[in-house]
A = this chain, B = another copy of it.
Amino acid sequence: MVFQVRPDSPVPIYEQIAAQVVFGVAAGDPPPGSLVPSVRELASQLIVNPNTVARAYQELERQGILESRRGLGMQVTTKAPELCETRRMEIIRQRLLHAVREAAASGLTADDVRSLVEEEWTRASGRARRRGREERT
């Protein structure tokens, strides 16, 4: 599981972190019953305040995706995969909806938008794939 936050995004960092946990769980990593990285570990990895990570986890706990195991850490629940698959689609759909809606309002044509999406997808997925490879190394 690799995390990455964009401080310049309008999306709050704790939401970015929460979304990435959701994406990971939806993809089967980490699996139910396993522990997510500790607040301090993830915070130091992302160079982010521990409170920010804690808030992301707290949010996920509220959604039934994580549960706190005293003295152990935060554990992925058994129903998490199902919840996360749903959440993932909701999140992505929501983000794309906002972006596409704005593109539509901007006067661009459907083709403009399609080609922009293809272009950015190539960039973004290329990067994601490379990251994935490095990670497995």
Chain A residues engaging chain B, CB cutoff 8 angstroms: 4, 6-7, 9-12, 19-20, 23, 26-27, 49, 62, 70-71, 88, 91-93, 95-108, 110, 113-114, 116-117, 120-121, 123-125, 127-128
List, in ascending order, chain B residues with CB within 8 A of A12's CB.
Answer: 10
Copy number in the complex reads 4
Once bound together, how far apart are the Cα atoms of A32 and B125, in whole Å? 37
List, in ascending order, chain B residues with CB within 8 A of A62's CB.
Answer: 62
CB closest chain-B residue, reference A13: B70
The answer to whether A92 and B121 touch across the interface, beta carbons within 8 angstroms, is no
CB closest chain-B residue, reference A26: B107
The answer to whether A93 and B120 touch across the interface, beta carbons within 8 angstroms, is yes
Nearest Cβ on chain B to A8's Cβ, whole angstroms: 10
